[in-house]
Amino acid sequence: MKSFGVGLAVIFTTLTSTVSAVCTLGYIVQAGDTCNAIALAHGISTSQIFVLNPHACPNIFVGQRLCLTDSTYNCQPVVPVNTGQVACTDTSSVLPGDSCDIIAARFAIPSFAVPLINPNISCSALVANDFICVASPQINCSKVNTVKSGDSCTGIATSSNITVNQLVSLNPNVNVNCTNIFPGEVLCVAPSA
């Protein structure tokens, strides 16, 4: 990945206004790049790339110059996974109306894993179109069960051929008495092989 120097003047035009800013970190698109990969590699959100390059993503091309940060954009760096742990192996964009439980169900991962592999997000404040990690070797789960109204830990464990203790062990967010599960929550019911 090649970054270009600071100080490049960039003009952004919208239907209502024009904003002039100084690009403080630029990037030249390489073969095989995606907006998401560029964002992850530079520790920024994909939304930031969209805001600073409104007509680029997803149709970027080799040699294209992108602005990754500028003098007017104040954002916190994105950390794709916890420090010292393995990288994200798949990503997806947040859809309008998504919650961590909805994302977990869509990608068959336990609910607790969504913030675990995306420490930069808050499940109560997801941003549509942001890219998040949805697969990582740190998720030790090969089968999930979405809790339905009226479900109990005993029932879920029995139908999954595991014990309640195993269910609690597989889901660190579930308390020892298994009294804090709720409809829509996605629970791990089998570890990875």
Encoding tokens for residue 17?
């206004």
Alpha helices (runs of H) in the chain, residue ranges in sequence order: 35-42, 46-52, 100-107, 113-117, 153-159, 164-170
Q: Are residues 86 and 170 in the same domain?
A: yes
Q: What is the Cα–Cα distance from 37 to 19, expressed in whole angstroms?
A: 27
User: Mean pLDDT score of the chain, rounded to an integer?
Assistant: 78
| Total domains, the chain | 2
Q: Are residues 63 and 21 in the same domain?
A: yes
- Which pLDDT belongs to residue 170? 95
**Does the pLDDT of residue 81 top 60, yes or no?**
no
Q: What is the Cα–Cα distance from 41 to 87, expressed in whole angstroms?
A: 11
| Domain residue limits at 21 | 2-70
Q: What is the Cα–Cα distance from 72 to 41, expressed in whole angstroms?
A: 21
- Which pLDDT belongs to residue 71? 57
Task: Please list the residues that pair with 66 across neighbouring strands.
Answer: 27
Task: Please list the residues that pair with 188 across neighbouring strands.
Answer: 144
Is the pLDDT higher at 142 or at 78?
142
Q: Are residues 48 and 88 in the same domain?
A: no
Of 50, 70, 90, which closes a domain?
A: 70
- Which pLDDT belongs to residue 171? 95
Q: Are residues 94 and 136 in the same domain?
A: yes
Give this prediction's pTM: 0.58
| pLDDT (tens digit per residue) in 31-73 | 888 887 888 888 777 777 877 777 777 778 888 888 887 655 5
Is the pLDDT higher at 146 or at 134?
146
Omega before 119 within 30 of 0, i.e. cis: no
Q: What CATH code is carried by the domain that includes residue 86?
A: 3.10.350.10
